[in-house]
Amino acid sequence: MASVAAGYLPILIFLAIALLLSGAFVLLPMVIQRFTGAYKPTAEKLSEYECGFPAFEDSRSQFDVRFYLVAILFIVFDLEAAFLYPWAVSLKDVGWTGWTAMIVFLAELGLGLAYTWKKGALEWE
């Protein structure tokens, strides 16, 4: 039983060091700014900023579904790029089977893009 617990000791030490360092990186700057005088809240510092002008709507308002569709499309095509690089590097090793599989993958993505384009998800009013 002692040997099993001893096997977990490096993991527990690593976890303790990680928690200590992450806590220090979060809390230490806040503590230091209180003592150095950098903490001087004003109305401008406490106001919302995102686009350079004050908010004119409630922050809990619903977003248009097209926003989410564009975000999903971005993730899909970002993943496509992540899949294309290793495939292109190993193209000689995977042969025609790998090439055909990637063409099918790209055709499915193209069909998905055509569908969203046809539905008007990329049109902004």
Mean pLDDT lowest among 4-8, 44-48, 50-54: 50-54
Read off the pLDDT of residues 52-92 as tens digits, 9 standing for 90 and up. 566 666 667 777 777 777 788 888 888 888 888 888 888 88
Domains of the chain as residue ranges with CATH: 1-59 (no CATH), 62-125 (1.20.58.1610)
Joined tokens for residue 5 = 């617990």
Question: Of residues 45 and 105, which shows the higher confidence score?
Answer: 105
- pLDDT of 16 above 90: yes
What is the reported pLDDT for 12? 92
Read off the amino acid at residue 73: L
